[in-house]
Structure 1
Amino acid sequence: MGIAGSAVWPAGRKVTGIQATIHQITWFPSNAQGRFTELEASDLRTRRVRSLLDVPDLTSLTFTIDSAFTQRIPGVHATVIFRNGAGKIIGGSDHGAADVQGSDPQPGRSVRELLLPTDHEDPAAAPAPAAADLGRTEIYVFPSEFP
């Protein structure tokens, strides 16, 4: 499992490199409930939504969560990746800014929605860029804490 963050980069400036550092390696038994229990998002539908509020237009992501946890999950975060028509990553949202609406899913299957931005002053929760091919959107979900 990898955990990453995001950084805001000024428009017009080119990223010249990226560095990844492994800080700690921990092994858990493969049957350790809450550590490697399957939590998967599928059936993703992404669309642009005009906002009536004093915020920029929103991006709505509706998806199904399949949870193999044996208990209710107390909150779910999501990381979103937006790609253009060529498949190049052109944006996304950081997991810390993306709390899934109607969280706390029970074991099994449930439908959830995520609206971006959750906070219009947080660039890590920005809606889909204009050049995004919404059909190429990716979403990855994980517990905000273990049951």
Structure 2
Amino acid sequence: MTKPGHGAAAVFAVIALALTLAGCSSGGSVEPIAQSPSETPTTTAASPFTTKGDDGQVKVVEKGLSATRKGAEELLSFGLVLENTNRKAVAFPKYAINLLDAAGKRLYEGEYDIDPPLSAPRILPGGRYGVGVTSSHPNPAKVADIRVVIIETEWVTSNDREQFAKLTAGPVRTERATASQRAAAETTSVTFTIDSAFSKPLLAVEMSAIFRNTARKIVGGARHLKRQDGMNSIHIPPGRSTHEMALEDDTPSSADDSRTEVYVFPFVFPPS
């Protein structure tokens, strides 16, 4: 069977096989500012933990999708939110995504990997993380739902190296590109703050965006937000900093851009 995908890449039942904690990620400019966050954080909860925890699991608490397009190219945009209900351990979940038709039947047989692969997020105890994807699809209108399967979860119960701390992506401002801007190769951008509880700068982070409609329902998402100057790393200093990132594709037409959320987790440990 021909695999759907972005160009020749096949994209749509996802197995996120990460758990390596080194590599590159998206980037943005940094400008420290002083004031406190003005909105409820959209990322992970605080993580004071020292003992082994077996009292929780990773759950899919929200999901949603929509068909969209980029010029003549048809796209499928989807997003989901994972929650770590364990209060004593950091979760690294591996998960798969299947596309379903209106009857609840899988549209494709076999496994289709995201290209590039999605990293397994690190979700702090009691925290949530949003995963978003927008990718080419031959007929996105056929996709009625997604099925998310948590394959397995690796748990980390010690913070003795201080590699886990709170990262909060704060208020997000989305500026959708106009037709003339898109013709000039400009893209929709998101500007947001990150509050880091790490005592040292982070050299690289993973980022996802979740798009919601006016009823707050998820209508899509984007992975690995791209820095406008094309750099592949982002440095997060301790405290608060601001970042402007570029989306490869516009947000879905049904999205309320004032409700865009950004989720962040470290891709490499801070230097010891």
Same fold (TM over 0.5): yes
Partners of 1:85 and 1:5 lie apart in 2 by 18
Secondary structure of the equivalent of 2:258? helix
Aligned to 1:29: 158
Any conservation in 1 of the 2:134–2:220 contact (CA below 8 Å)? no
Query: How far 1:29 moved relative to its partner?
Result: 2.4
1:99 and 1:145, CA in 2 relative to 1: closer, same or farther beyond 3 A? farther
* Distance change >3 Å, CA 76–CA 53, structure 1 → 2: farther
CA separation of 1:110/1:13 partners in 2, compared to 1, >3 Å: closer, same or farther? same
Moved more, 81-90 or 132-141: 81-90
Secondary structure, aligned partner of 1:69: coil
Deviations, residues 70-91 of structure 1 (Å, cap 9, x unaligned) = 1110122211011122222211
Determine the C-alpha separation between the residues in 2 that align with 1:44 and 1:31.
33
Give the structure 2 partner of residue 127 of structure 1.
250
Structure 1 residues 145 and 18: CA distance shift in structure 2, 3 A: same
Answer yes or no: is 1:70 the counterpart of 2:199: yes
Rounded Cα–Cα distance in structure 2 between residues aligned with 1:100 and 1:73: 16
- TM-score (structure 1 length as normaliser): 0.75
Higher deviation after alignment, 60-69 or 15-24: 15-24
**107 and 138 in structure 1: CA distance in 2 versus 1, 3 angstrom threshold:** same
Which one has a bigger Cα radius of gyration? 2
Whole-Å separation in 1 of the counterparts to 2:143 and 2:159: 41
**Counterparts in 2 of 1:78 and 1:100: CA distance versus 1, 3 Å:** farther
Separation (CA, whole Å) in 1 of partners of 2:174 and 2:132: 22
Counting aligned pairs with the same residue, the percent is: 34
Point out the structure with the larger strand share.
Answer: 2
Q: Distance in 1 between matches of 2:211 and 2:170?
A: 16
**Residues 1:7 and 1:20: Cα distance change in structure 2 (over 3 Å):** farther
RMSD: 2.6
State yes or no: 1:105 paired with 2:236.
yes
Compute the displacement of 1:52 (Å).
Answer: 5.8
Per-residue displacement from partner, 1:112-134 (whole Å, max 9, x unpaired)? 111101xxxxxxxx321122101
Taking the aligned partners of 2:209 and 2:251, their CA distance within structure 1 comes to: 9
- Corresponding residue of 2:141: 12
Is residue 2:264 matched to residue 1:141?
yes
Mapped pair 1:46 → 2:169: no
Equivalence for 1:120: none
Amino acid in the other structure paired with 2:152: H
1:115 to 231, 246, 265: 246
Residues 197 and 238 of structure 2 are in contact (CA less than 8 Å); yes or no, is this contact kept in structure 1?
yes
Q: Which residue pairs with 2:216 in the alignment?
A: 87
Post-superposition CA distance 1:95-123 (Å, at most 9, x none): xx324568201111111111101xxxxxx
Q: Classify the secondary structure of the residue corresponding to 1:44.
A: strand
Structure 1 residues 61, 7: CA separation in 2 closer, same or farther (over 3 Å shift)?
A: closer
Aligned to 2:189: 60
Q: Shift of the alpha carbon at 1:6?
A: 4.3
Return the letter of the residue paired with 1:112: H
Q: Counterpart of 1:24 in structure 2: which amino acid? A: T
Partner of residue 121, structure 1: none
Structure 1, 10-19 or 76-85: larger mean CA deviation: 10-19
* Structure 1 letter corresponding to 2:213: N
